[in-house]
């Protein structure tokens, strides 16, 4: 393992060091040749001689040399190593690089996305993308530390599971052991996290991968995304909102110090108020939308529990019911509105809270139903047949063995970071995203299965034009 990163070279003035990395640039003055050597942490200038003649950019090299302080007039304040340079004593070319198919010394927005995804391992070499991955890693680490200190525990839930009907289309995975049957990839760990509350875990979180077969948009990756999934027992909406506020306020302060949260405490606006005033449930409350440092967080609350069901709702088999859940079918009605479930369901308010940042919905959650009778009523209203309700028998049974009142939230990591950094797409925050056509980065997927694989699964396919 190498023990010296480029950013730390200035700590070794007048020492002999060994530098491992890529050649970012080469400036050939015949007898003297300059290289900039890059690693994940930055670049540093190397001064060498004709032994560098065969080196080309993006070669992987090992340089030995002495760290020298630069004369005052040659200091480059733009790079972290600008006060020093390395006087080369030796060079070893570890691996030659062919000319790159895409430039990596720009911010990359100008390059066609398909080319960037095909060569994602090169695209990620650019400083902006490396920075995004570093910030994402720091964000996850911050969240884990923050919640662990508050007595949360991280629990993993299955990826091969049964559908969690949250309003999107499922990805199905054929079962080999039970031919003709399918697992579904989780749209979120919603049911599992509620079952963990029945299990007495009380404070759960997970950096959870969620899978939804929805059409891509700029604020939504195709296929999969990552959520910070949180669930707590014995809580109110107030508790959930203040925990979230506390978490992200301290995270911004520590990891994104040049960003300014424009209003604290974060405004809480009722759904009806926000629709009347802004015509959307995710208002952009920034005072100046040209200011990249401004972060306007807000909450939208008091959503109606139901919306009119549309053809695109996947909650139901029949498509004939009038109501669809605004959030999902486990969201509890406002306690004052429970009787309206019988008389006027569209007037019932749900205990739902959406987290908004700069006009993007970056998270949503709710207090859950923990009373089987109310849950059954909601199933009825959204048009579940008795057979469909049987699919949730495990939830209702679990609730019969002593269930704490519970609730939670799930901020989307990709989308939160997109809004926070002002990136134009969530795909700028994901190492290997799928393209808008659903093609996975670098590898040529999806692809056909072999006849042997299909036979083992008991599946026959038909030829279609894609």
List residues near ligand ASP by CB under 6 A. Answer: 166, 188, 190, 364-366, 408-410
Shortest distance (Å) from residue 90 CB to ligand ASP: 55
Beta strands in 368-441 (DSSP E): 406-411
282 preceded by cis ω (within 30°)? no
Please report how close the Cβ of residue 86 comes to ligand ASP at its closest, in angstroms: 50
Give phi and psi for 420, each to the nearest 5.
Answer: -65, -40
Q: How far is CA 89 from CA 16, 18, 19, 52, 376, in A?
A: 9, 10, 11, 11, 77
Nearest approach in angstroms of CB 427 to ligand ASP is 20
- The CA-based diameter of the chain, rounded to the nearest angstrom, is 89
Handedness of CA 62, 63, 67, 71 (dihedral sign): negative
Query: In angstroms, rounded to a whole number, what is the distance separating the alpha carbons of residues 274 and 166?
Result: 24
Output the smallest distance, CB 199 to ligand ASP, in A: 17
Cβ count near 4 (within 10 Å):
16
- Closer by beta carbon to ligand ASP, 187 or else 298: 187
DSSP letter at 439?
P
User: 116 or 193: whose CB is closer to ligand ASP?
Assistant: 193
* Nearer CB in complex with ligand ASP: 216/365: 365
Rounded to a whole number of angstroms, the minimum distance from the CB of residue 395 to ligand ASP is 14
Instruction: For ligand ASP, give the closer residue by CB, 113 or 281.
Output: 281
Contact 183, 160 (CB under 8 A): yes
The nearer residue to ligand ASP, 197 or 409, going by C-beta atoms, is 409
Angle at 325 between CA 319 and CA 330, to 5 degrees: 120
Nearer to ligand ASP, 123 or 219 (CB): 219
SS3 at position 129: helix
Q: How far is the CB of 167 from ligand ASP (least distance, A)?
A: 9
Closest to ligand ASP by CB, 190 vs 226, is 190
DSSP structural state of residue 124? T
Closest approach of ligand ASP to the CB of residue 344, in Å: 25
């Amino acid at each position: 393992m190498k023990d010296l990163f480029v950013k730390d070279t200035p700590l070794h003035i007048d020492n002999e060091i060994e530098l491992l990395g890529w050649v970012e640039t080469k400036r050939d003055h015949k007898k003297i040749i300059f290289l900039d050597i890059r690693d994940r942490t930055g670049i540093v200038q190397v001064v060498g001689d004709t032994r560098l003649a065969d080196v080309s950019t993006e070669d992987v090299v090992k340089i030995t040399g002495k760290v020298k302080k630069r004369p005052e007039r040659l200091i480059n304040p733009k790079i972290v190593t600008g006060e020093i340079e390395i006087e080369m004593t030796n060079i070893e070319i570890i691996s030659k690089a062919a000319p790159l198919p895409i430039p990596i010394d720009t911010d990359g927005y100008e390059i066609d996305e398909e080319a960037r995804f095909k060569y994602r391992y090169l695209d990620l070499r650019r400083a902006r993308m490396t920075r995004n991955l570093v910030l994402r890693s720091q964000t996850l680490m911050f969240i884990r530390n923050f919640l662990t200190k508050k007595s949360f525990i991280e629990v993993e839930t299955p990826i091969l599971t049964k559908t969690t009907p949250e309003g999107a289309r499922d990805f199905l995975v054929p079962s080999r052991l039970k031919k003709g049957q399918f697992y579904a990839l989780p749209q979120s760990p919603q049911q599992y996290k509620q079952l963990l509350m029945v299990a007495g875990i009380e404070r759960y979180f997970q950096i959870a991968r969620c899978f939804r077969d929805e059409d891509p948009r700029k604020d939504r990756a195709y296929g999969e995304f990552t959520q910070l999934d949180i669930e707590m027992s014995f809580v109110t909406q107030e508790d959930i909102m203040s925990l979230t506020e506390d978490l992200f306020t301290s995270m911004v302060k520590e990891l994104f110090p040049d960003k300014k949260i424009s209003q604290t405490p974060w405004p809480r606006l009722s759904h009806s108020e926000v629709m009347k005033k802004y015509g959307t449930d995710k208002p952009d409350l920034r005072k100046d939308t040209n200011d990249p440092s401004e972060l306007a967080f807000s909450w939208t609350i008091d959503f109606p529990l139901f919306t009119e069901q549309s053809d695109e709702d996947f909650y139901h088999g029949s498509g004939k019911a009038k109501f669809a859940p605004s959030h999902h079918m486990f969201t509890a009605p406002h306690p004052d509105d429970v009787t309206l479930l019988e008389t006027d369901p569209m007037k019932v308010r749900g205990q739902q809270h959406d987290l908004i940042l700069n006009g993007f919905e970056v998270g949503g959650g709710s207090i859950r139903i923990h009373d089987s009778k109310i849950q059954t009523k909601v199933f009825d209203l959204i048009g579940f047949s008795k057979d469909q309700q049987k699919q949730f028998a495990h939830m209702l049974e679990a609730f019969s063995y002593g269930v704490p009142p519970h609730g939670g939230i799930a901020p989307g990591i990709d989308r939160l970071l997109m809004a926070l950094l002002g990136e134009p797409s969530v795909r700028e925050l994901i190492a290997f995203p799928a393209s808008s056509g659903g093609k996975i980065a670098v590898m040529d997927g999806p692809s056909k299965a072999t006849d042997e694989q299909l036979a083992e699964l008991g599946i026959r396919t038909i030829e279609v034009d894609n």
